[in-house]
Amino acid sequence: MIVSKAKERQDVINMLEGVSSVFLLGCSECASLCGTGSPEALAEMKESLESIGKKVTGMFVAKTGCQVLGTKVELKANKEEVDAADAILVMSCGAGTQSMVEVFKDKKVYPANDTAFLGNMTRFQHFDERCSMCGECIIDKTGGICPVTTCPKGILNGPCGGTNNGFCEVSPDIECAWAKIYARMERTGELEKMKQIIPPKDYSKKLSPKVFVIEKKKEEK
């Protein structure tokens, strides 16, 4: 899921300088699981903003905030509340925030969260980054563990000199990706494969902004 972190409250307040009324929008998907866009998080934000004299005209938790059309339809019921607000404060990821930018052409839209990474929830509300969406998956060659993401240097061909008893020189909290890859490929009997040199990555696959359109299959007659 997309992991988001709440911005420092003071930063949100600074962002809202000159704004006296806001509409709050959350998201029931990732941001709710992260606790940054759930009904509880919205209620807490409402209370906090009201305590410094801001007016909250209304709030709503979108089903899927990054789904532009669906969210637009959902928000029809809240039209008056949105119209009455100087700005929309979006408590989701950056994609959800920009859905609102697209739907409300003339309204100020601000982010309450920082979008962090694509994460696996490995324990309750504990997220680990395993995939960085590089556009060219190579984990068939690395025992199913992504060195692009889990090695801070993104090394594709084995551990650097900073590998340290299974951990990384960058931080004692990070396991050495290549120690893990080796151990796993040893277990799965794939060490021979590990001897092949992996070529430089094709970064053209990661050029932003990206567009992806699923082509409709031709109907068979």
Task: Find the angle CA(209)-CA(93)-CA(203) to the nearest 5 degrees.
Answer: 30
182 counts as binding other proteins under rule CB under 8 A? yes
* Candidates 30-38, 61-69, 113-121, 165-173; binding stretch for other proteins (CB under 8 A): 165-173
SS3 per-residue string spanning 57-91: EEEEEECCCCCHHHHHHHHHHHHHHHHHCCEEEEC
Applying CB under 8 A, does 134 fall inside the site for other proteins? no
- CB under 8 A: which stretch of 70-78, 87-95, 114-122, 198-206 binds other proteins? 198-206
Q: What's the rounded Cα separation, in Å, for the pair 63 and 22?
A: 20
To which residue do tokens 């650097």 refer?
A: 160
- Indicate if the alpha-carbon torsion angle 42, 48, 50, 54 is positive or negative: negative
Residue 164 CB, nearest distance to other proteins (Å)?
A: 4
Cis peptide before 152 (omega within 30 of 0): no
Among 134, 153, 184, 190, binds other proteins (CB under 8 A): 153
- Residue 104 found at the interface with other proteins (CB under 8 A): no
189 part of the interface to other proteins, by CB under 8 A: no
Interface with other proteins includes 126 (CB under 8 A)? Answer: no
Q: Which of 161, 207, 208, 209 binds other proteins (CB under 8 A)?
A: 161
Helix (H) / strand (E) element for 3: namely strand 2-6
* 170 touches other proteins by CB under 8 A: yes
181 counts as binding other proteins under rule CB under 8 A: yes
End-to-end CA distance of the chain: 39
How many chain residues touch other proteins (CB under 8 A)? Answer: 30
Binding site for other proteins (CB under 8 A): 152-166, 169-171, 178-179, 181-182, 191, 194-195, 197, 199-201, 203
